[in-house]
Structure 1
Amino acid sequence: MKSSHLSLSLAIALGLASTASLAAGSPAGKAQLGDFGVDLSARDLTVKPGDDFNSYVSGTWLKTYELKDYETSYGSFNQLRDRAEEQVHGLIEDLRKRNDLAPGSNGQKVRDYYASYMDRTSRDAAGIAPLTPVLKRIAAIDSKAELIAAFANSDLDASASPIRLGVDLDRKNPDQHLVSLNVGGLGLPDKDYYVNPDARFVTIRSAYLEHIQRMLGFAGVKDGKARAEKVLALETALAKPQWERAKRRDRDKTYNVSTFAQLQQQFPSYDWAAHLKAQEMPQPDRVNVVTPDAVQPVLDVIAATPLPVWRDYLTFHAIDGNAELLSRAIDDASFQFNGKVLAGQKAQKDDWKRAVAMVGAKDGLGDAVGELYVARYFQPESKAAMDQLVENLRAALRQNIQNLDWMGEATKAEAYRKLSTFRPKIGYPEKWTDYSSVSIVPGDLVANVIAMRRFDRADENRRVGQKTDRDEWRMTPQTVNAYYNSTFNEIVFPAAILQPPFFDVNADPAVNYGGIGAVIGHEMGHGFDDQGSKSDADGVQRNWWTDADRARFDERTKALGAQYDSYCPLQGQCVNGALTMGENIGDLGGISMAYTAYRLSLHGKPASVIDGLTGDQRFFLAFGQIWKGKYRDEALLNQVKTNPHSPGMYRANGPVRNFDPWYQAFDVKPGDALYLPPEQRVRIW
């Protein structure tokens, strides 16, 4: 789940239960999973819960599920995404059968955008021709000014740029937007892929070199190997000064605001005004330099690299970045590296799946699809019941804070205020994106994609100097995910996540609290993780903690990080406890809040026993199964290097071994592999 980009890096016809049935009542009908909402057949009863809880709750499924050729990993979230994908596909196919769609309507645009992707015959006949205007512009670059313009237009060309200017929220003034300067320009997932001596990365670099040469070949580049070597050397030089991902999580280090004039004075070797003009972005009064000491080294690389190398770099990235839109030959050639080598895929996804993803994405016609999706699959009562669930979790977190023995009353008062101002957004936005300015034409996929890129650029540029809109959503309703936005102090749950195994109206209440309850608690927990806790009730980034309380909090997070540092899914490749800290705190806090809410819902009465399982056992089984997942090694490597979320097995095992009620529920004792002595269990929220 996403906190900022949960990166963490998460769609359904659903009628939620009333508060009473969630709390203690009997389910009204048959649960979709098993007898009460958990797939008991997924368990491996030969494994002790205390040795490997993930394998206990999902081990048989892990042994028997075979990844499809196009899958890099698969688990509970993917099951939900598959269902949402099929639902959206059905909606689009319904549009394709209609002949009454008005020109310029959202329905016409969705239909024709999808159809232009699916027209493989025309795309194969065109080959690389649709990209010719972009490649000609790149080939004509003959000055530093033209190079800067190419960097500024990399978003339209799907190329790459070592300098990126974008518009974010101002973390110290949530009512304002703030232009941010980032450095980047890498074609591999992380700087480690360029410099790590591990044999895995050496192999990837060798394959990447061949990939660069292959892509340049589609542009008719001669001496491809030698020129590809220079491109790889350029990217390696760009990678070296860039910050580690864990460091980039630190909000104190990444807020460095200056005036635009000061930016020009600090880095005079780059024409910032020319970049902005080419990007069609208004000149801002203020700029946040996200990683300040990485900027000048990157500018030095820009200055020292000959223009022919830059032309090859931009050409390679433009072809690779647009390969999916072009002929099958180019698309498959790109897949040889990006799919097979980096991700471990054995085959491409079907075109219809890729078309649905493109059209329904946030940077596609996501809200147009979302409006159709909500009308068919999301019931009004669902939103009301989810609102109540959020309030149940809010009450549970308040009780947890009240009972903290490591936090003083002054900090607790601020925490209560922040908790009280959490704003939940459930299901879908109140206002839909207006696509009236976008022209989608039949039969020209590249033109349609560029039209969407121009729309997104104009949408971003208009924000410069403008107030923020707190009603905006960063995800579409059909997205299977959730997020917390600290600047608006909001928790957001798109419609798509509200389905089994996360929620089922007919499931046992313990299961719903262990599933969607833990997800709600996770997102609330982001407001109090190591970074979200740096923003106050109004979303302003400031220190609202006493020094003593912060020190005690940091002591606990350090111990949690050390636990996750020891989890190594591949030989020599371990989870980065600092990079995953926010999500790990979210998981630990989420299970704690959800369990408190579940126990409160029983009103002191004992839970019934179902199929020989107590209420607490059913709660933890539900929690464990939402994190089930099977991975290819390539996907695991990518995840531990780039993803702020720990792999699923550690999201199932990591929180429970720090949580006393789990020990009691499954009689976990010293000698069990997951056992931690009470004094080593990390308790935060």
Structure 2
Amino acid sequence: MGNGKWEKANPIPPDRSNWGTVPALMEQSLTTQREIVEQAAKQASDRADPVARKLGLLYASGMDEAAIEAAGTQPIRPQLSAIAALSSAEDVASYIMQRHAEGDAQVFKFSAQSDLHDASLQIAFADEGGLALPSKDYYSAPDYAAVRTAYLAYIAKSLELAGSSADEAKTQAKDVLALETRLASASLAPVDQRNPKNMYHFVSVAEADKATPHFSWTKFLATQDVEVGKGFSLSQPRFFAAFDRELATAPIAQWRAYLSFHAIDAASMQLSKAFVDNNFAFYGKALSGQPQQQPR
């Protein structure tokens, strides 16, 4: 191999699942960035440079392990309380819309991209999402049975750390995995995502509303404060039909479990050590084969 000499001299670090020239350059960049923010943190009391002060305070807050441990789940408690109050499909839809407006893409992704039929235009794209595992095959293929078992345990532990009893967490974890599995069955496999025709389905807002009668795109766009002109790409119709069906038929308790877990999962690396360790045990070790956790 042409890179054999380099690879022998640069083994995969124990806190990485892969390594190469690009990750090595990224690590150098992160080291430089850390030096900058550490210096800013030392000067955080200096109000002469407000940008540096903000950077310093942000970095210091992320490194204050004592405060992070003391806070426990308080940083996500308002979100979990909002989820616990959901009592109807309309509530679930409204919650998803609001989270998108706050920059937290729940269930699907929404972004601006070049129009695949006219690269001079930027249009809105709604794309399938909502899965924590890498692709749809992980939810059904026999080869990934061990990953699913580890994922189920991770979901349950996450919910338990956030306050559910052990028995409740196990039941909720099964609900989460079942809902994700149904969404996965309507999702595209990675090979199908390589075909641009599968990633573009332009519709008017009225057509989108008709396609998902239990999720109003008119309301969603208003919540995002977005104007889409003639329309946008509802990119994977089969997925969004499945999403709409789940809104109409899945028990609200199942949606609460799913949304609670994803709130915890998204925040876990910024929460206390128990959450960080739980995240690493699944995503680092079980899913990626990474033997050692990276330092905060």
- What is the TM-score normalised by the length of structure 2? 0.90
Q: Please, which of 114, 117, 120 is the counterpart of residue 65 of structure 2?
A: 120
User: 2:86 corresponds to which residue?
Assistant: 141
**Quick one: structure 1 residues 219 and 119, their matched pair in 2 at CA, closer, same or farther if it must change by over 3 Å?**
same
Over aligned residues, Cα RMSD in angstroms?
A: 2.2
Measured in 1, the distance between the counterparts of 2:247 and 2:35 equals: 48
**Quick one: structure 1 residues 206 and 156, their matched pair in 2 at CA, closer, same or farther if it must change by over 3 Å?**
farther
Measured in 2, the distance between the counterparts of 1:337 and 1:114 equals: 26
Structure 2 unaligned blocks of 5 or more: none
| Partner-residue secondary structure (3-state), 2:109 | strand
Cα contact 1:158–1:317 (8 A) shared by 2: no
Measured in 2, the distance between the counterparts of 1:72 and 1:78 equals: 11
| Partner-residue secondary structure (3-state), 1:74 | coil
1:87 is the counterpart of 2:32 = yes
Cα contact 1:241–1:294 (8 A) shared by 2: yes
Measured in 1, the distance between the counterparts of 2:291 and 2:6 equals: 21
Q: Please, which of 194, 200, 204 is the counterpart of residue 249 of structure 1?
A: 194
**Quick one: structure 1 residues 143 and 77, their matched pair in 2 at CA, closer, same or farther if it must change by over 3 Å?**
same
How much has 1:326 moved relative to structure 2?
A: 1.1
Cα contact 2:90–2:214 (8 A) shared by 1: no
Cα contact 1:211–1:334 (8 A) shared by 2: yes
User: 1:23 corresponds to which residue?
Assistant: none
**Quick one: structure 1 residues 64 and 173, their matched pair in 2 at CA, closer, same or farther if it must change by over 3 Å?**
closer
| Partner-residue secondary structure (3-state), 2:66 | helix
1:211 is the counterpart of 2:157 = no
Measured in 2, the distance between the counterparts of 1:350 and 1:101 equals: 30
Measured in 2, the distance between the counterparts of 1:68 and 1:155 equals: 36
| Partner-residue secondary structure (3-state), 1:347 | coil
How much has 1:282 moved relative to structure 2?
A: 4.1
Cα contact 1:138–1:314 (8 A) shared by 2: yes
Tell me the alpha carbon deviations over residues 599-654 of structure 1, each in whole angstroms, 9 at most, x when there is no partner. xxxxxxxxxxxxxxxxxxxxxxxxxxxxxxxxxxxxxxxxxxxxxxxxxxxxxxxx
| Partner-residue secondary structure (3-state), 2:191 | helix
Cα contact 2:11–2:19 (8 A) shared by 1: no
Question: Partner letter of residue 329 of structure 1?
Answer: A
Question: Partner letter of residue 258 of structure 2?
Answer: Y
**Quick one: structure 1 residues 136 and 231, their matched pair in 2 at CA, closer, same or farther if it must change by over 3 Å?**
same
User: 2:181 corresponds to which residue?
Assistant: 236
How much has 1:240 moved relative to structure 2?
A: 0.5
Q: Please, which of 243, 257, 268 is the counterpart of residue 312 of structure 1?
A: 257
Measured in 2, the distance between the counterparts of 1:157 and 1:345 equals: 32
Q: Please, which of 92, 97, 103 is the counterpart of residue 152 of structure 1?
A: 97
Aligned residues: 293
Cα contact 2:80–2:260 (8 A) shared by 1: yes
**Quick one: structure 1 residues 100 and 159, their matched pair in 2 at CA, closer, same or farther if it must change by over 3 Å?**
closer
Question: Partner letter of residue 130 of structure 1?
Answer: P
Question: Partner letter of residue 173 of structure 2?
Answer: A
| Partner-residue secondary structure (3-state), 2:26 | helix
User: 1:469 corresponds to which residue?
Assistant: none
Question: Partner letter of residue 204 of structure 1?
Answer: V
Measured in 1, the distance between the counterparts of 2:212 and 2:41 equals: 53
**Quick one: structure 1 residues 331 and 192, their matched pair in 2 at CA, closer, same or farther if it must change by over 3 Å?**
same
How much has 1:80 moved relative to structure 2?
A: 1.3
Tell me the alpha carbon deviations over residues 111-158 of structure 1, each in whole angstroms, 9 at most, x when there is no partner. 222111111111011111111111100100112221012222344778
How much has 1:277 moved relative to structure 2?
A: 3.4
Cα contact 2:101–2:224 (8 A) shared by 1: no
Question: Partner letter of residue 161 of structure 2?
Answer: F
Cα contact 2:159–2:169 (8 A) shared by 1: yes
Q: Please, which of 102, 108, 116 is the counterpart of residue 48 of structure 2?
A: 102
How much has 1:229 moved relative to structure 2?
A: 0.9
Higher alpha-carbon Rg: 1
Question: Partner letter of residue 256 of structure 1?
Answer: H
| Partner-residue secondary structure (3-state), 1:72 | coil
**Quick one: structure 1 residues 160 and 95, their matched pair in 2 at CA, closer, same or farther if it must change by over 3 Å?**
closer
Measured in 2, the distance between the counterparts of 1:229 and 1:125 equals: 30
Cα contact 1:191–1:239 (8 A) shared by 2: yes
1:469-508 correspondence to structure 2 within 5 Å: none
**Quick one: structure 1 residues 293 and 329, their matched pair in 2 at CA, closer, same or farther if it must change by over 3 Å?**
closer
| Partner-residue secondary structure (3-state), 1:288 | strand
Structure 1 unaligned blocks of 5 or more: 1-53, 352-685
| Partner-residue secondary structure (3-state), 1:73 | coil
How much has 1:162 moved relative to structure 2?
A: 2.6
Question: Partner letter of residue 102 of structure 1?
Answer: A
Measured in 2, the distance between the counterparts of 1:220 and 1:96 equals: 34
User: 1:542 corresponds to which residue?
Assistant: none
How much has 1:109 moved relative to structure 2?
A: 2.1
Measured in 2, the distance between the counterparts of 1:219 and 1:100 equals: 37
Question: Partner letter of residue 212 of structure 1?
Answer: I
User: 1:32 corresponds to which residue?
Assistant: none
How much has 1:100 moved relative to structure 2?
A: 3.8
Cα contact 1:340–1:346 (8 A) shared by 2: yes
Tell me the alpha carbon deviations over residues 308-353 of structure 1, each in whole angstroms, 9 at most, x when there is no partner. 00001111111111011111122112221111111222222122xx
Measured in 2, the distance between the counterparts of 1:258 and 1:184 equals: 19
Q: Please, which of 170, 185, 193 is the counterpart of residue 138 of structure 2?
A: 193
Measured in 2, the distance between the counterparts of 1:157 and 1:135 equals: 15
**Quick one: structure 1 residues 337 and 253, their matched pair in 2 at CA, closer, same or farther if it must change by over 3 Å?**
closer
- What is the TM-score normalised by the length of structure 1? 0.41
